[in-house]
Amino acid sequence: MGNDKLTYAETGINIDDTDAVKQNMAKSLQTNNSRVLNSLGAFASLYDFKFPEYDHPVLVMKTEEPGSKQKLAFQHGRVRSICYDMINHLINDIIVMGAKPLAVQDAIISGAVDKETISEIVDAVSAACKEQDCVLTGGETSIQPGVLEKGSYILTSSIVGIVDKSKIIDGSAIRKGDVIVAVASNGVHTNGYTLVRAIMDKHPEVLNQRVGDESFLDAIMKPHLCYYKPLRDLFGMDGLHGMAHITGGGIEGNLNRVIPEHLNALIDLSRIDILPLFQIIRNMGNVDEQDMLRTFNMGVGLVLVVDSEIAQSVMEHVAAFGLKSYVIGEIVEGNKRVVYQQELQWY
């Protein structure tokens, strides 16, 4: 027993391999952003937070992960796409408060050192950030053999954004008579994948389905849309009173988070433009309509609550970025509820 020796490498972690991963990360984290004051290798990231153009700068912070969609992504070789899912979802969660995204920190937890995959993840996360005018400043890579199986990954990330205190969009300005504008999603985004995977397991023939000119797999793995660039020029506009990112819980479970106590949101379900993908999910899984509404975005990725006088100009602005938007409801007196009217039009 005394002669039995163990090394860190024999237990599943080779320091030389992890150092090689860090060298690859350094390339992906290179940036010309002058606010980033140091590089990979320091114990923590330094970010210059001097913003003279803001009268009262407020930090907006959020942590997010891409849910069980990441399991499908690694199973089907969609590593880069799941990184875009994570970052785009994360950014959407802060822009609904009127925030500008600044910097992201990520965490990659893996069962083994896979230099190529980990390097690709970091590179994709960094690229997704740059596309939305923010920066990946660093993060954590944790190799946990015995906790996760080899080839298994868990991803998460946190963001810091900024908004002037006087321009925070929190729903408090919503008033009776405002209209509710839906901005289209491009698919399932990042919520409801536990149900999607259950349908795939029970009905593997669903993979033979076509969604328009796409395969079912391509349709469900399409990266989560980011709404920052189409919406950023609307921030601070008079009449933009509230926004909600439609994720788990559907329209009801997310819009009610910004509705004031004395008001209700009336949603006309017959106006929702249901994406064909959701029709396939409902039919193949025999999913109850109410469960569909609670689980998925149904084709509505984000909603804006605006003064009726600016609704048309807002929709024209969004259309200039190639996104469909349309009115699905209005604000009435009530008790902080989202009330569905009419019926979904499936065909």
* C-alpha to C-alpha distances, 118 to 12, 72, 74, 85, nearest whole angstrom: 16, 17, 12, 16
Cβ neighbours around 65 below 10 Å, total:
18
List the one residue out of 149, 154, 150 whose CA is nearest residue 139: 154
Which comes out higher in pLDDT, residue 23 or 323?
323
Min mean pLDDT across 14-18, 26-30, 188-192, 297-301 is at 14-18
Does 1 score more than 90 pLDDT? no
Alpha-carbon span 273 to 283, nearest angstrom: 17
Q: What is the DSSP string of 94-163?
A: HHTTTPEEEEEEEEEEESS--HHHHHHHHHHHHHHHHHTT-EEEEEEEEE-BTTB-TT-EEEEEEEEEEE
Tens of pLDDT along 205-251?
Answer: 999 999 999 999 999 999 999 999 999 999 999 999 999 999 999 99
pLDDT band at 25 (very low <50, low <70, confident <90, very high): low
CB 315 within 8 A of CB 326: yes
pTM of the model: 0.91
Residue 278 pLDDT exceeds 70: yes
CA separation for the pair 68, 83 (Å, rounded): 13
193-202 and 276-285 helices cross at what angle (nearest 10)? 50
Q: Which two tokens stand for residue 344?
A: 């979904």
pLDDT tens-place string over residues 294-311: 999 999 999 999 999 999
Instruction: From 185, 183, 188, 303, select the one nearest 255 (Cα to Cα).
Output: 303
Q: What is the pLDDT of residues 130-144, one digit of tens each?
A: 999 999 998 999 999
Summarised one tens digit per residue, pLDDT across range 48-75 is: 999 999 999 999 999 999 989 999 999 9
